[in-house]
Structure 1
Amino acid sequence: MFAALLVGLLLLLPQTVAAEDLESLYGRALQASQSGDFVQALPLWDQVLELSPNDAAALSNRGNVRLALGDPDGAIADQARSIELAPEEPDPHLNRGTAEESIQDWAAAEADYLWILERDATDASALYNLGNVRGSTGDWDSARRLYEEAAHARPGFAMARSSAALAAWQQQDLVWAEAELRKLIRRYPLFADARAALSGLLWQGGFSGEAESHWAAAAGLDTRYRQKDWLLDVRRWPPQPTQQLMAFLALEER
């Protein structure tokens, strides 16, 4: 009887060890992803998926890491497989949309965001990302509306409010844009996006002294706002605000 029990325990042991290894690997992979160490995270997710190839969450996480490492096609493939395994989960659609945006496949990204919004019209991330898509295709009226809806759906979504102000600026609704940016700065004094935007808007209006003051704060918080390509392609500023900020910086650097 004792021998039979011992054999049974030995047969169970490899599965128990494998389960413990998987849990440990998953935790390490997640920690590396969350800390931004994507080079370390990728092989860890590969190992997780070797042990559990149908783990939809692991596939979606690896897809995010692949995108961060400059592999949008691999990211899209991982998110698509995750969707097959968990067809009602919104996160893989959101993540795939982000990867599709990175290769400017606006129609595919929009379809993924609309899939989410058809099921939850108040999903702030999908609203915001769809606003980015609409802005990237030149529809700033729709982009502004979506940014405002995202900010309403998630109180404290400062980037959505800043994007709405930038879209308003693009529409020449300058009074509203300035008022909204000032509100954001009062509430979030270290928010570089609003500071940089207000710098360009004030300079355009002839208030160069105050523009320089806000820019000094913005530049100290985030140097990327000096980069035109980053503003347009990554942060997704509209063309008019971008042009005005670049003009202000060109004059400041003379």
Structure 2
Amino acid sequence: MFSLLPSALFPRLDISKCSGKRSLSANRSYALRPGSYVVDPNHIVETHLRRRLLLTLPFSFDFFSPNKSYSQASIPGAKRAALTPESAPDRRLYDLEDEKLRNAANLLEEALQASSVDKEEALWNKLIDEYGTLEAAWADDVVGRALGNRGNARARQGRFEEALRDYDAAIARCPWSPDPVLNRGVVLEKLGRLDEAIRDYGDVLAAFPSDPAAWNNLGNANAAAGKWRDALDCYDRAAKLAPQFAFAAANRALALFEVGEKEQSIRELRSLLRRYPDFPDARAALTAALWSIGKEADAETNWNRVEDARYKDPAWLRSERRWPPSMIDSLSAFNEVRSVP
């Protein structure tokens, strides 16, 4: 659930670890953009994504082109196209000699490089205060970025209601960008407002049907609502759209296990581990799946390669990584050396 681009509009976030670091963890909802998919499953928490925004001029932003293979009717939760990508500004018309624009860009870069989330938020505040009422062709673009980033910073601190207000303001400023809508959905998920999160992901997909992160996040929201068949379909689309998106593939395998397709789940986990041998999530899941079908020795062999101690904690698996109940039960049975009912 990752990516890194040189000039995206808003970095997307995962707030499962609200630590004040600009990092995403692999266990919740994310955002990806096309380009270089940075998917390192060996670093679940510390993988840095979408870090650079507006670091250089001129501006560039490449949106997903709508994929005609997915109609709006095929998108779970999509009821309207709230996003208007056609309203995106033509950045070629920006005056790159405008001193205020260059100063704003430098301030944005400084905020992204801030050493702490407090300093980062202060710099977003400064940018918004200085340019929020400016009448300039580029003002909505830049201030919208700042609002979206400030929302991310506040979400990482657990200040979710404030983050939601920032995302709302960013969306009003930049109705062409899917990222603040997707990030708002992540926070809504965290607050348990699943219907609203599903609506946001559906809105992104109505405008950008090829966005793998939106499909993955929609899968997460459906899974949280107990709709595992719907979640499976979403993870499947995410994995097909972005084959390097390792956690979409892992989520698909977990969903397969939950709906009773254990053998297929095991095959897909083995396939994933051939590509990423040290992927702890897939390795722990394979341990649980093998134990559930009586392959104790194989389960032990795989478990010996799981170094992340969090996989021993059912509470973490349930609330943070959000594994399906049957997979958590199977791994708990393995750790307690008992059979799966």
TM-score grouping bracket, smaller chain normalisation: 0.7 to 0.9
In structure 2, C-alpha distance between the alignment counterparts of 1:183 and 1:216, rounded to whole Å: 19
1:75 maps to 163
Identify the range of structure 1 (47-56 vs 147-156) with the bigger mean alpha-carbon deviation: 47-56
Q: Does the Cα contact within 8 Å between 1:203 and 1:248 map onto a contact in 2?
A: yes
In structure 1, C-alpha distance between the alignment counterparts of 2:117 and 2:228, rounded to whole Å: 34
Offset at 1:242? Answer: 1.1
In structure 2, C-alpha distance between the alignment counterparts of 1:191 and 1:49, rounded to whole Å: 40
List gaps (5 residues or longer) in structure 2. 1-97, 133-139
2:209 maps to 121
2:131 maps to 52
Asked if 1:235 is matched to 2:315, the reply is: no
Offset at 1:211? Answer: 1.4
- 1:173-252 pair list within 5 angstroms: 173-218=261-306, 220=307, 222-251=308-337
Q: What amino acid is aligned across from residue 223 of structure 2 in structure 1?
A: G
Show CA shifts across 1:137-177 (max 9, x none).
11100100110100001121110111111011001101100
In structure 1, C-alpha distance between the alignment counterparts of 2:125 and 2:170, rounded to whole Å: 14
2:68 maps to none
Show CA shifts across 1:62-100 (max 9, x none).
111111111111111110100111112111100100010
Identity of aligned residues (%): 37
- 1:121-160 pair list within 5 angstroms: 121-160=209-248
- 1:1-150 pair list within 5 angstroms: 16=99, 21-32=103-114, 37-53=116-132, 55-150=143-238
Q: Does the Cα contact within 8 Å between 1:39 and 1:69 map onto a contact in 2?
A: no
2:251 maps to 163
Secondary structure (helix, strand or coil) at the match of 1:104 reads: coil
- Of structures 1 and 2, the one with the larger relative CO (CA 8 A, separation 6+) is 2
In structure 1, C-alpha distance between the alignment counterparts of 2:131 and 2:301, rounded to whole Å: 54
Could you say if the C-alpha distance between residues 180 and 29 of structure 1 is closer, same or farther in structure 2, counting changes exceeding 3 Å? same
The alignment of Structure 1 onto Structure 2 pairs a total of residues equal to: 232
TM-score by length of 1: 0.85
In structure 1, C-alpha distance between the alignment counterparts of 2:102 and 2:275, rounded to whole Å: 46
List gaps (5 residues or longer) in structure 1. 1-14
Q: What amino acid is aligned across from residue 138 of structure 1 in structure 2?
A: G
1:7 maps to none
Q: What amino acid is aligned across from residue 234 of structure 1 in structure 2?
A: E
Q: What amino acid is aligned across from residue 300 of structure 2 in structure 1?
A: E
* Structure having the larger proportion of residues in helix: 1
1:11 maps to none
In structure 2, C-alpha distance between the alignment counterparts of 1:241 and 1:141, rounded to whole Å: 15
In structure 2, C-alpha distance between the alignment counterparts of 1:196 and 1:65, rounded to whole Å: 31
In structure 2, C-alpha distance between the alignment counterparts of 1:249 and 1:214, rounded to whole Å: 13
In structure 2, C-alpha distance between the alignment counterparts of 1:147 and 1:39, rounded to whole Å: 35
Offset at 1:216? Answer: 2.4
Q: Does the Cα contact within 8 Å between 1:83 and 1:92 map onto a contact in 2?
A: yes
Off by >6 Å, runs of 4+ in structure 1: none
In structure 2, C-alpha distance between the alignment counterparts of 1:209 and 1:45, rounded to whole Å: 54
TM-score by length of 2: 0.64
